[in-house]
Structure 1
Amino acid sequence: MNPLFDIQLSKEDNLLKRFEEIHDYIYANDGLSPQQTLEEFVKILFIKIFDENENSNKFTISAEEWNLLKSGKINQSLTERISNLFEHTKQAYTDIFDSDDRIKLTPIALGFTVNKLQNISLLNSSQDAKGLAFQKFLSHHEKDGRGQFFTPEPVIDFCVEMMQPKPDETIIDPACGSGGFLMSALKFLQKNNLELNTSKSVSSHLFGLDINKSIARIAKMKLLLESNGKTNVICTNSLEDLDSIKLSVSQKDGFNIVLTNPPFGAKITNTSTLSKFDLGHKWSNYDKEYHKTKVVYPNQNAEILFIERCIQLLKEGGRMAIVLPNGNFENPSLEYLRYYIKLKTKILAIVNLPQETFIPFGTGVKTSLLFLEKDTPNLNKQYPIFFGRVTKLGYHGNKNGTPLYQKDKYGQTIKDSSGQPILEEDFSVIVEDYKKFQNGNVIESDNAFSINYNELNGRFDFDFYSPENRKLFSNLDNVKTVRLGDICDIVKIKSKKLKDHNSTVEYVELSDINTHSYEIINSTTYQVHELPSRASYELQEGDIITAIAGNSIGTRKHATALVTKDFEGNICTNGFRVLRNFKIDSYYLLYFLKSEVFLKQMFMYRTGAAIPNVSDNDLSNIIIHLPNDNYIDEISKKMMKAFELRQESRNQIESIHLELA
């Protein structure tokens, strides 16, 4: 036998240093992008592990071969040997490699890499050392290459802590990316079960699916380095035939736990796929209940189909944690989705995340976490639901996501008993509150509370049910009130003026309102064909306009104004709603529309992250407090007097201008 191939491999604990040296060399010398460099490195690790498993000892380079490469001479023996190994590796991992995949490294970079790894046994190294090395290595490089695939580690760990997996439970992530949820679940099991058989857990209880082969390789490598055995990370489309997916992972009865962060925003347009999902169909609302129709949507958001698929993957009584954009929790157009969730599951908890959670990972989408238990019979309608809100992430909400540590009053970092800095986070506080809640304790604080299932209406968002808002409505129950939609007309019909494209009109935008004095202070002259598409409603003297769109709705800068004679006939943006034909004193209503009671309701009803808005239905349902007639009359007179004084002020100023003229 060639002595070159008769090598005893040693254990190596300083793997991170070697991994970094290899990555830096490839990146500096081969002209590959960070993403391509990472992909090539992962390929080499698979070849290395295959060589060790087969005990072929062909993952090696001799001094002679290395010297030839350094001198710039062609050396076919190394490239042919490693390429041949790669062909066998691809056959062993057909689900994550294509038959035409090849090694893209230059011979010198390949030689450098093989030399760095040839005397190290990845299979026999300490599990902690090699797993930790690869995790740390990835934390340095994967965000540059594929930031969109990753969920922040604190969010992942929090979901696992909330789910509390047990050693005998099967766990799947159907959008596993680089395996963050699976690795966190494994670490949780190892920490809480000292006798855990890690290889058995990886081979029998952890499952991951991802449509992207490059990223699935990373997840598979993470688990390989933990177990030295069989892994269940498969490259497949999780939205394909359910029975085929269950068969491919040999779990026809489903799973105990689903942990996932599905792709946001991607549209599924394949009619065949959509028709197989309840949520791929349109739903009709009849008598406060939703019913699936035979009409298939032309497209659907991927995360909505993933919700249904995750529920399908669970065993009866199985639990699920999923990261979702806030629109799924609050948008009126998605109420059918929330009805479906209530129909198929028991809602365990809803936890709101800060706006900046995903900014270090490439998106500012506001998200929340939904925790469910599969409950197909759906008979129990009397149970409490936990709500939580995370306000401190433990890292900066900027593109770097650098750790954020607790400080004492002198600005010094606070450390734990082992000398490690303590993160500034409240994930752990929410976990402890949830555990108390599960033990039957009543939880009510600024960032955690519970409500009963029968209090859950068409929305799932934290802010809507916050103790502050519930207290507001409780107080309103004790006084005389009316609905806004019952005491005025809400104009929603576009002006006929907009049909004459050559006519000239005055246009009023949200920014044309003095929010302190309830006044329109400006309008802009346009020809109709020049108007922005949002130009909609014609104003009449005595109307009240109030904002239903924009970042200021429900805040102190909320725009509300009385339409005076100067702005009669103007056209306003559809960011306003026009109130007309009042059944209560209009000056009192104008006053109320700047009150805390009104603003809190508007803020509560806001939906949408990019441009918050309030639906017409929610605007109609705004509760108006009606005090006694004397008090209403007193407020009305003061409001009228204020407008008269402002008009008199303008008249005085105009008279000065006339005198000067």
Structure 2
Amino acid sequence: MITGEIRNRVDKIWETFWTGGITNPLTVIEQFTYLLFIKGLDETETTKEQEVEFLGIEHEGVFPKDKQHLRWNRFKQLGSAEEMYDVVSNEVFPFIKNLHGKEESAYSKYMGDATFLIPTPNMLAKIVDGIDNLPPTEDRDAQGDLYEYLLSKIATSGTNGQFRTPRHIIKMIVELMKPTPEDIIIDPAMGSAGFLVAASEYLRDNHSDMFLVQGLKEHYHNTMFYGNDMDRSMLRIGAMNMMLHGVDNPNIDYRDSLAEINKDKEQYTLVLANPPFKGSLDYESVSNGLLKIAMTKKTELLFLSLFIRILKPGGRAAVIVPEGVLFRDQKAYNTIRKEIIENHKLEAIISMPSGVFKPYAGVSTAILIFTKTGAGGTDNVWFYDMKAEGFTLDDQRSPIEQNDIPDIIQKFNNLEREKERTRNDQSFFVPLEELRENNYDLSINKYKDIDYEEIEYETPERILNKIDTYEQEIIQGLKKLKESVKGL
């Protein structure tokens, strides 16, 4: 999570935007992100220059020789705020808008209508100075925390699940799924592209040799990452976020993933998502193909139908769902659970505590992991009751020692050892036959055994005698107190 010091710096920059007349949170984040992106380009360029100098090889930089004055470290040192404002607004911003070149690239598509809205030189100077004191973009965790904190300020974040998935939860899900260099990964409700960024980081950290293979390197930059969203501002932020994290050409589209216009079918090998799960849609606006699995207006169920449709056979999904999806006894809910369990391979249900999404929402959620087979395969489903994830479960979300995440990852990677666990443990298996008997209920409390500890209470007579004794002691104490007051 973001530290208090960095939080205070961000709040101060935010206040500069606010007092300068930019009060829409999403607009602030956009303008903030543009400048973070400009700073990140310069830092990345500096790192590459140092590397090629050490290796003694040629390097074609992002900034041509005649554009060196557009670098962050150059324009921030200009003599006056007016001079810096002129360079940033008239040269730097147009430069980053046209940076990618290819008209069909995600970056070019969503930067095309980007607008520089900082109104005055003094305001820009204050913001540049504030951003200059934030962590460098090479500090990936700090940058991720920074984005999460910025996005938490969006007024609508409580109703848009993809805006506010905590980074440590995203990272855990990615580590559970272990993306491979051959995967084709999608988040159909991508928001700021948090899942895609985390997957790209995992591959860089665990499969760095893929960048020595031309085909895999090209795949990473051009055909591995896909994301959809219906907010152009978030698409811009997501595109910049992916580029800052080293993905040259992510496939990011303005699209309602649930609508008929989305024709994707058996196209991806890995779905990572926390789709919106508040609200309903009219049948008319939903793809007919999704309604074939379960006739419903509920977005949380429609997205599950979508994941099944867009995955290739053998493709995997790790998605966050509201707890009601696991146990609600209604036809559409039962149908989608039965579909995943009987026609595909349900692998795990990880129940998360309700405070994970605070302070935005107190909804209880779970992570559902399955593989698309089209021919069944569910045998024993692994359940885990997450009780702590490293932060308090109140609105403050302060760091604490208790954290089940390392245990979840370790156990999921060694499921053979889980077979001996009992229903009293924090994790255990439930066989397919038992799920069938319980109408495909996937609530962990349906199967968990709870040990009740017998408590012996004192008899009412003894309790009353104690109360009487305490009362006499109080009366005696009051008498002594009155006598001492009279003597004064």
TM-score by length of 1: 0.53
Q: Structure 1, residues 191-243: CA drift from partner, whole Å, max 9, x if none? A: 33353539653544232222222223333222211216222333322223476
1:329 to 2:326 alignment: yes
| Corresponding residue for residue 144 of structure 2 | 135
Q: Between Structure 1 and Structure 2, which shows a larger proportion of strand residues?
A: 1
Q: CA deviation at 1:165?
A: 2.2
**Amino acid corresponding to residue 180 of structure 1 in structure 2:** G
| Corresponding residue for residue 287 of structure 1 | none
Q: Is the 8 A contact 1:261 1:322 kept in 2?
A: yes
| Corresponding residue for residue 371 of structure 1 | 369
Q: Is the 8 A contact 2:349 2:367 kept in 1?
A: yes
| Corresponding residue for residue 312 of structure 1 | 309
1:442 to 2:420 alignment: yes
| Corresponding residue for residue 170 of structure 2 | 156
| Corresponding residue for residue 468 of structure 2 | none
Q: Structure 1, residues 452-472: CA drift from partner, whole Å, max 9, x if none? A: 112113211111122459xx9
Secondary structure at the aligned position of 1:209 is classed as: strand
User: Which among 221, 225, 231 is matched to residue 244 of structure 2?
Assistant: 225
Q: What are the equivalent positions in structure 2 for 1:245-644 lying under 5 Å apart?
A: 245=264, 254-269=267-282, 271-278=284-291, 282=295, 300-333=297-330, 334-360=333-359, 362-378=360-376, 380=377, 383-405=379-401, 424-438=402-416, 441-444=419-422, 445-457=424-436, 458=439, 459-468=441-450
Secondary structure at the aligned position of 1:446 is classed as: coil
Q: Is the 8 A contact 2:148 2:166 kept in 1?
A: no
| Corresponding residue for residue 212 of structure 1 | 231
| Corresponding residue for residue 561 of structure 1 | none
| Corresponding residue for residue 54 of structure 2 | none
**Amino acid corresponding to residue 32 of structure 1 in structure 2:** T
| Corresponding residue for residue 188 of structure 2 | 174
CA distance in 2, matches of 1:368, 1:236: 26
Q: CA deviation at 1:127?
A: 6.9
CA distance in 1, matches of 2:11, 2:63: 26
1:26 to 2:17 alignment: yes
Secondary structure at the aligned position of 2:399 is classed as: coil
| Corresponding residue for residue 191 of structure 1 | 205
1:59 to 2:70 alignment: yes
Q: CA deviation at 1:16?
A: 11
Q: Structure 1, residues 603-653: CA drift from partner, whole Å, max 9, x if none? A: xxxxxxxxxxxxxxxxxxxxxxxxxxxxxxxxxxxxxxxxxxxxxxxxxxx
Q: Is the 8 A contact 1:47 1:85 kept in 2?
A: no
| Corresponding residue for residue 519 of structure 1 | none
**Amino acid corresponding to residue 400 of structure 1 in structure 2:** Q
Q: Cα–Cα, structure 1 residues 371 and 21, in superposed 2: closer, same or farther, change >3 Å?
A: same
CA distance in 1, matches of 2:301, 2:443: 16
**Amino acid corresponding to residue 448 of structure 1 in structure 2:** S
Q: CA deviation at 1:36?
A: 2.6
User: Which among 224, 233, 238 is matched to residue 257 of structure 2?
Assistant: 238
Q: CA deviation at 1:108?
A: 1.3
Secondary structure at the aligned position of 2:227 is classed as: strand
Aligned residues: 403
**Amino acid corresponding to residue 27 of structure 2 in structure 1:** Q
Q: Cα–Cα, structure 1 residues 209 and 199, in superposed 2: closer, same or farther, change >3 Å?
A: farther
Q: CA deviation at 1:343?
A: 4.1
Q: Is the 8 A contact 1:78 1:111 kept in 2?
A: no
Q: Is the 8 A contact 1:254 1:314 kept in 2?
A: yes
Whichever of the two has the greater Rg, that structure is 1
Secondary structure at the aligned position of 2:403 is classed as: coil
CA distance in 1, matches of 2:77, 2:207: 46
CA distance in 2, matches of 1:325, 1:217: 28
**Amino acid corresponding to residue 174 of structure 1 in structure 2:** P
| Unaligned runs of at least 5 residues, structure 1 | 1-14, 247-252, 283-296, 406-423, 473-661
Q: Is the 8 A contact 1:279 1:304 kept in 2?
A: no
Q: CA deviation at 1:386?
A: 0.7
Q: What are the equivalent positions in structure 2 for 1:109-120 lying under 5 Å apart?
A: 111-112=124-125
**Amino acid corresponding to residue 151 of structure 1 in structure 2:** T
CA distance in 2, matches of 1:228, 1:59: 22
Q: CA deviation at 1:311?
A: 1.4
Q: CA deviation at 1:141?
A: 2.4
| Unaligned runs of at least 5 residues, structure 2 | 1-5, 43-60, 453-488
TM-score by length of 2: 0.70
Q: Cα–Cα, structure 1 residues 119 and 467, in superposed 2: closer, same or farther, change >3 Å?
A: closer
| Corresponding residue for residue 497 of structure 1 | none
Q: CA deviation at 1:68?
A: 4.3
Q: Is the 8 A contact 2:390 2:403 kept in 1?
A: yes
CA distance in 1, matches of 2:369, 2:302: 17
Q: Is the 8 A contact 2:229 2:256 kept in 1?
A: yes
Q: Is the 8 A contact 2:349 2:442 kept in 1?
A: yes
CA distance in 2, matches of 1:156, 1:180: 7
Q: Cα–Cα, structure 1 residues 228 and 315, in superposed 2: closer, same or farther, change >3 Å?
A: closer
Q: Cα–Cα, structure 1 residues 325 and 193, in superposed 2: closer, same or farther, change >3 Å?
A: same
Q: Is the 8 A contact 1:268 1:302 kept in 2?
A: yes
Q: Between Structure 1 and Structure 2, which shows a larger proportion of helix residues?
A: 2
| Corresponding residue for residue 32 of structure 2 | 41
CA distance in 2, matches of 1:184, 1:77: 34
Residues 320-329 or 24-33, more deviating: 24-33
Q: Which structure is richer in relative contact order (CA contacts within 8 A, separation 6 or more)?
A: 2
**Amino acid corresponding to residue 232 of structure 1 in structure 2:** N
Q: Cα–Cα, structure 1 residues 50 and 234, in superposed 2: closer, same or farther, change >3 Å?
A: farther
Q: Cα–Cα, structure 1 residues 62 and 156, in superposed 2: closer, same or farther, change >3 Å?
A: closer
CA distance in 1, matches of 2:63, 2:249: 14
CA distance in 2, matches of 1:20, 1:196: 40
**Amino acid corresponding to residue 141 of structure 1 in structure 2:** L
Q: Is the 8 A contact 2:29 2:150 kept in 1?
A: yes
CA distance in 1, matches of 2:87, 2:198: 42
Q: Structure 1, residues 534-592: CA drift from partner, whole Å, max 9, x if none? A: xxxxxxxxxxxxxxxxxxxxxxxxxxxxxxxxxxxxxxxxxxxxxxxxxxxxxxxxxxx
Q: Cα–Cα, structure 1 residues 255 and 113, in superposed 2: closer, same or farther, change >3 Å?
A: farther
Identity of aligned residues (%): 22
Q: Cα–Cα, structure 1 residues 202 and 151, in superposed 2: closer, same or farther, change >3 Å?
A: farther
CA distance in 1, matches of 2:262, 2:192: 24
Q: CA deviation at 1:396?
A: 1.0
Q: CA deviation at 1:432?
A: 2.4
Secondary structure at the aligned position of 2:391 is classed as: coil
CA distance in 2, matches of 1:88, 1:210: 22
Secondary structure at the aligned position of 1:352 is classed as: strand
Secondary structure at the aligned position of 2:345 is classed as: strand
Q: CA deviation at 1:388?
A: 1.0
RMSD, matched Cα? 3.9
Q: CA deviation at 1:258?
A: 0.8
CA distance in 2, matches of 1:109, 1:203: 40
Q: Is the 8 A contact 2:190 2:228 kept in 1?
A: yes
